[in-house]
Structure 1
Amino acid sequence: MSAPTKITGGCLCKVVRYEVNFPEDHDFKSNVRTPECQFSSRPFSELPHTSSFPILQLTPPQSVACFCSLCRKQSGVVVVHVHILPRSSFTWTSPSAAPSAPLANYQVIKDNLRWFCTACGSYLAWEGNGIIEVTAGSVDEECLVGKKDGEGNVIEKGVGEQFCHPEGAVTWVNNSLGPVTEGIKGTRWKFSVAHGVRG
């Protein structure tokens, strides 16, 4: 299967919609890279997924299964799968920026936005530092799973296996739930990938 060039998604009530146009050089399997890294001098309170560890400047993986408490609280699930993209490849396609629009964000950490629909509550994306993490569950079923026939059988496979690459990063494994989460494949990180501490 060739790599996708575009996907669409949105919230449960279908009012908030988005589109992703993947960069030509987007690497769907770059989850195990170990790029050059440097320690960050940014204050603890300004870092995504805060901890007391120094933060490393890493090229992020594309697919992540996150066990952090923030993602759990916002989504209501124990594992949130996200795909990381440059912010420039992501577009909100509806609604308009009108004050009554149901698209809103919540900041737990300064300059890090957690986007959701105020009408149905769907958690759609996390944004900060020039990237956006799109929640895999908000991708349209036809894009993620594939096209189905009248009996619900998949007749044309979607991009789920590439978008949720099974050997991606598994972050915040210090919040692991034993047998519930131990079977999730991927490079395990004690905190975020940027902390550089293997789990």
Structure 2
Amino acid sequence: MASNTDLSTPKHIEGGCLCGALRYAVDFPEDHDFKNACSTCQCTQCRKQTSSFFLTSHVVKPLSAFRFTSQTTTLKDYEASPNAQRGFCANCGSLIYWKPKGGDYTSFAVGTVDALYLWGEGADGVTVPKEGWGRVLAAGEANHWWTGNEIKGVTDNIPAAGYGRGKKWKGDE
């Protein structure tokens, strides 16, 4: 299997919430490190906000690399902890991003990336590869946060999705 460094990488992607009220674009800097920008989190907050066993996210910096391309009247921030903001759509509930207060990056939810970029739906193979860029956006080679909350036999060993790579953090280390 080819490593993520052997795959093509996007310069630009787009995404949005389930109802379409929030739309965003990401313009990746030339030196963006795709391999070390994707991570997962199994903390209780991410589980409850996504209604899933873990959140798959991708970090992009500087903050200006991530921008909304639509109105943001439905964008709401929720502070599950005092040092971070979670941006979501007030209409449909889609989690769009997580970012630290005062930080220089945004960690966007990979599941909100448009199908064209994520798995190549409608791709022509020229501007977007036919298989999309899902693997380089969500390969899980960076960090796996709050693995102390792993569910034995369910989320503790997910090598088929590539999540067995990267550093596992048991908690707020």
TM-score bucket of the superposed structures, by smaller chain? 0.7 to 0.9
1:3 matched to which residue of 2? Answer: 9
Partners of 2:117 and 2:77 lie apart in 1 by: 25
Q: Please give the per-residue CA displacement for 1:139-161, whole angstroms capped at 9, x wherever unaligned.
A: 11111111348xxxxx8111110
2:148 partner letter: N
Q: Please give the per-residue CA displacement for 1:99-129, whole angstroms capped at 9, x wherever unaligned.
A: xx11111112235210000111101101221
Partners of 2:46 and 2:140 lie apart in 1 by: 19
Q: Does 1:63 align with 2:38?
A: yes
Match of 1:21 among 27, 44, 52: 27
TM score, norm. by length of structure 1? 0.72
1:189 partner letter: W
Partners of 2:168 and 2:110 lie apart in 1 by: 19
Partners of 2:70 and 2:12 lie apart in 1 by: 17
Q: Please give the per-residue CA displacement for 1:128-183, whole angstroms capped at 9, x wherever unaligned.
A: 2121110010011111111348xxxxx81111100012433211010000111022
Q: Who wins on radius of gyration, i.e. which is larger?
A: 1
Give the deviation of 1:89 after TM superposition.
0.7
TM score, norm. by length of structure 2? 0.82
The Cα RMSD (Å) is: 1.6
Q: Does 1:190 align with 2:165?
A: no
Match of 1:104 among 65, 73, 76: 76
Partners of 2:59 and 2:98 lie apart in 1 by: 9
Tell me the secondary structure at the aligned position of residue 18 of structure 2.
coil
Tell me the secondary structure at the aligned position of residue 117 of structure 2.
helix
Give the deviation of 1:11 after TM superposition.
0.2
1:152 matched to which residue of 2? Answer: none
Give the deviation of 1:82 after TM superposition.
0.3
1:115 matched to which residue of 2? Answer: 87
1:88 matched to which residue of 2? Answer: 64
Partners of 1:130 and 1:29 lie apart in 2 by: 19
1:69 partner letter: T
Unaligned runs of 5+ in 1: 31-61, 150-154
2:66 partner letter: F
Unaligned runs of 5+ in 2: 1-6, 124-128, 159-163
Alignment of 1:19-58 (within 5 A): 19-30=25-36
User: Is residue 41–residue 56 contact of structure 2 (8 Å, CA) maintained in 1?
Assistant: yes
Give the count of matched residue pairs.
153
Match of 2:114 among 131, 137, 140: 140
1:179 matched to which residue of 2? Answer: 153
Partners of 2:151 and 2:119 lie apart in 1 by: 27
1:108/1:91 Cα in 2 relative to 1: closer, same or farther (>3 Å)? same
Partners of 2:156 and 2:83 lie apart in 1 by: 32
Q: Percent identity?
A: 35
